[in-house]
Every structure is written in C-alpha cells, then in structure tokens.
C-alpha cells in the first residue's frame, strides 16, 4: 500500500516508521493509553508526562504496520506541549482529514499531514486512527479517574 502513496507522503511515513525519536516510555509518566487494531494486528501503548493539564514528554511502544507505527510517532511529536483542549482539536482535525473534510485553520498538523493520502485506503484508516482513538480514550479515563478522586 505504501508503494501507492505519493512519494512525499511515503518518505515522511517511512522516516517515522524506521527511526522514531518518540519510541520508548516516558519516565515518570502519569498518562497511559493503549490501542489495538485486530484487523491489522497493530498494538500501541502511549505514555506521557502531564503537568498543569498539558502533555510533557510523549512516547510510544508497540508493533504493527508502518502506518500505525509512523502515526504513533507523528502523533506523539504533535502532542508534546499541548493542552487537553488543544489535543481535542488535533483529534478532531485528524478525523476530518481522514474523511476528506475541511480542517480547522488553527490546527497545525505537522508531519501528520502526510496521512492525507491514507484516506484513499479505507482499511488503513483504522491503522492511523488507532493513535488518536487511544489518546482520546486515555484522556477520558484520566478525566473519569480525576472526577472519582475528587468525590468526598
Ligand atoms: Zn495496520
């Protein structure tokens, strides 16, 4: 499938797949999110430090196809320094990108734009979406555990 992607997109994706600066575990992580895509056999675990509602260091481990692993790398890079609210905007932007909808102009996708070509391959969208679905779920869990923790 990578052969059919535009060359520019393919190179960005392959760079992240082969040598990600974000692979590993974030030391002292207070955020954790996991995702599995049984259709393709992709597995991802994100760990991140969080301070004042903002992501610090974001790292991922996992295995699977180039799209899933490259997306995790690109997504980790984009999450660093983002608030929960900005992360929500980024996730919405990625969902829009996969559906070929117009993006919010204020969201900078960075290398994630390379995934625009993936929407031509519907089966692969799940491989890419694994990252943001996992983070979205992780943030929901975080929110819930905070809400429970603050109960009298
Ligand atoms: Zn995959």
For the chain, domains (ranges, CATH) are: 2-149 (3.90.1010.10)
Q: How many CB atoms lie within 10 A of CB 148?
A: 8
- Contact of 61 with 23, CB cutoff 8 Å: yes
- Which pLDDT value is given to residue 151? 59
Going by C-alpha positions, the residue among 106, 103, 110, 104 that lies closest to residue 79 is: 110
Rounded Cα distance, 128 and 37, in Å? 10
Two structure tokens written together for 50 = 């969080």
119 CA to middle of ligand 1, Å?
13
26 CA to middle of ligand 1, Å?
23
Distances (CA, A) of 55 to 73, 87, 98, 108, 137: 15, 9, 24, 16, 15
Say which residue the tokens 């790398």 belong to. Answer: 73
- Which pLDDT value is given to residue 6? 83
- Which pLDDT value is given to residue 8? 77
77 CA to middle of ligand 1, Å?
20
Rounded Cα distance, 143 and 116, in Å? 30
53 CA to middle of ligand 1, Å?
30
- Contact of 62 with 42, CB cutoff 8 Å: yes
Name the band, by pLDDT with cuts 50, 70 and 90, for residue 143: confident
**Can you tell me whether residue 57 is helix, strand or coil?**
strand
Entry pTM? 0.92
48 CA to middle of ligand 1, Å?
23
Please list the alpha-helical segments (H only) found in the chain. 7-18, 66-79, 84-98, 122-149
9 phi, psi to nearest 5 deg? -60, -45
pLDDT above 80 for 106: no
Q: What is the pLDDT of residues 86-99, one digit of tens each?
A: 999 999 999 999 99
- Which pLDDT value is given to residue 150? 64
68 CA to middle of ligand 1, Å?
5
């Amino acid at each position: 499938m990578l052969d059919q992607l535009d060359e520019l997109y393919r190179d960005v994706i392959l760079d992240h797949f082969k040598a990600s600066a974000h692979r590993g575990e974030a030391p002292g992580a207070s955020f954790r999110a996991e995702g599995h895509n049984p259709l393709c056999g992709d597995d991802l675990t994100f760990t991140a430090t969080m301070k004042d509602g903002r992501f610090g260091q974001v790292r991922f481990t996992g295995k699977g196809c180039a799209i899933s692993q490259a997306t995790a790398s690109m997504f980790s890079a984009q999450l660093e320094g983002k608030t929960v609210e900005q992360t929500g905007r980024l996730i919405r932007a990625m969902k829009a990108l996969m559906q070929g909808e117009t993006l919010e102009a204020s969201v900078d996708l960075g290398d994630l734009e390379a995934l625009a070509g993936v929407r031509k391959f519907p089966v692969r969208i799940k491989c890419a979406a694994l990252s943001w679905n996992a983070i979205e779920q992780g943030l929901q869990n975080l929110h819930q555990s905070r809400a429970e923790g603050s109960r009298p």
